[in-house]
Amino acid sequence: MKVGIIGQGYVGLTIASFAAKSFEVVGFDKNQKVVNQLNSGISHIEGVESADLQKWIVNSRYRASTSATDLSDADIVVIAVPTPLTNNRKPDLSFIDTACRTIGENIHKPILVINESTSFPGTLRSFIKPSIEKYSLGQVEHLYASSPERVDPGRTDFNQSNTPRLYSGLTSEASSKTKDFYSKFCDNLVEVSTPEVAEAAKLFENTFRQVNIALVNEFAQITHALGISVYETLDAANTKPYGFMKFTPSAGVGGHCIPVDPTYLAAVAEEHGAPATFIRRANEVNLEMSEYIVRRVAEDNGGSLQGKNVLVVGVAYKPNVADVRETAAELVIQHLRSQGAVVSWHDDVVGNWKGEDSAPLNGADIAVVVTKHDSVDEKKLLASAPYVFDTTGKVKGAKGL
């Protein structure tokens, strides 16, 4: 069996790394640089080891390609391409459409197409299938299934094997073949009745996080106004053994999923005349958090940040990864600069971002910690500026939420 995986980013390469144990895998990506790097045995994704990649390449279990014809003899194709928002914050299915075109124009025998990209309910049935049929001029009848990805890059306790995986095909044959595929590397498969349920469940999982993060971010502002510690209060609430789940405040949400997926759910809800006011407001609260933090920092520093050297520590959206997509650090930096601060940032995991290099961890007037990587020495961090504001709750001795 040959498996083609369209998109060799966080999701696609992670799936490839598990699938290569049982199948011959072609990792198709439009980015020549990524493909060259992968074929030279270098992984660009946390959790996928270069040594493993090299092993599969040598054993002919894996190769990356920019050539769509390499997919033409695949038996299964997995779509793992980005699903971002457009400039006016609407679902952008253009990457999925291009992936459908690749399949439609290059695969001329019936195969199983599985979508792992996150999107709104109905994407498989009403967008992917018709799109592939359009590009293949209706000449091939493929099987279609949806199995939304749950990977959490950088996480070591849960992976493809032990994270339950939802799936559903448009037909029972598609469901059954999807089960056969994933059962080679996932121990816990959960079939749901339709692809729409799988698609909606994925969006709800991330909306649940977004809403709870917004709630705790709002709560942090309330506890500060009341003069009590948000962390002590959360720990106190967390002693309740049922009906409570602890979330911690932060500078906002980042990454490809939490700031984006709820907007997919809100968009489809509104299209169907259902309200999504709560989801929309949660998104706003998270976005407003960066402004609140800058206001707090200014208040503690005589009311003005004009001309102050501010070092933002950690620009990745979460600890121990280099991913800066939708990072809250971007808004924090924007607000600091709009207040006249001279801003640099320190993040050796990211290294270079937006044409700027990571600055040394010292010599600032003010340091604002947005993300705390394990590799960042806490003592050095506290010594990097006379005033350190920590948004993560991890740096003891710093000012914070």
Ligand X SMILES: NC(=O)c1ccc[n+]([C@@H]2O[C@H](COP(=O)([O-])OP(=O)(O)OC[C@H]3O[C@@H](n4cnc5c(N)ncnc54)[C@H](O)[C@@H]3O)[C@@H](O)[C@H]2O)c1
Query: Applying CB under 6 A, which residues contact ligand X?
Result: 6-12, 28-31, 34, 80-83, 95, 98-99, 102, 117-118, 149-151, 153, 256-257
The smaller minimum CB distance to ligand X, of residues 28 and 167, is found at: 28
The smaller minimum CB distance to ligand X, of residues 66 and 344, is found at: 66
* Closest separation in Å from C-beta 278 to ligand X: 21
Work out the end-to-end distance of the chain between its first and last CA atoms, rounded to an integer number of angstroms.
Answer: 53
* Closest separation in Å from C-beta 284 to ligand X: 21
257 is catalytic: yes
Closest C-alpha to 116, from 91, 85, 95: 95
* Closest separation in Å from C-beta 320 to ligand X: 13
* Closest separation in Å from C-beta 116 to ligand X: 6
Strands 342-346 and 309-313: what pairing? Answer: parallel
From the number of C-beta atoms within 10 Å of its C-beta (0-12, 13-18, 19+), residue 378 rates as: middle
The smaller minimum CB distance to ligand X, of residues 68 and 140, is found at: 68
The smaller minimum CB distance to ligand X, of residues 31 and 233, is found at: 31
* Closest separation in Å from C-beta 260 to ligand X: 7
**Long-range CB pairs of 228-235, under 8 A, 24+ apart, other chains included:** 230/401, 231/393
* Closest separation in Å from C-beta 303 to ligand X: 40
Residue with nearest beta carbon to ligand X? 9
Amino acid at 387: Y
CA dihedral sign, ordered 301, 305, 311, 314: positive
Closest C-alpha to 292, from 222, 364, 211: 222
Closest C-alpha to 312, from 381, 378, 398: 381
* Closest separation in Å from C-beta 115 to ligand X: 9
Amino acid at 71: L
The smaller minimum CB distance to ligand X, of residues 7 and 195, is found at: 7
Closest C-alpha to 115, from 90, 140, 83: 83
Amino acid at 131: S
Closest C-alpha to 213, from 276, 279, 265, 271: 279
* Closest separation in Å from C-beta 311 to ligand X: 28
The smaller minimum CB distance to ligand X, of residues 24 and 261, is found at: 261
Closest C-alpha to 376, from 331, 325, 320, 326: 320
Contact 283, 340 (CB under 8 A): no
DSSP-H helix ranges across 166-318: 172-182, 195-226, 230-237, 261-271, 277-300
The smaller minimum CB distance to ligand X, of residues 80 and 401, is found at: 80
Which two tokens mark 143? 């099987």
Q: Please tell me the distance from the alpha carbon of residue 149 to that of residue 146, in angstroms, as a whole number.
A: 10
Helix (H) or strand (E) holding 28: strand 24-28
Q: Please tell me the distance from the alpha carbon of residue 259 to that of residue 274, in angstroms, as a whole number.
A: 20
Q: Please tell me the distance from the alpha carbon of residue 348 to that of residue 358, in angstroms, as a whole number.
A: 6
Catalytic residue among 26, 103, 257, 312: 257
The smaller minimum CB distance to ligand X, of residues 192 and 342, is found at: 192
Catalytic residues: 257
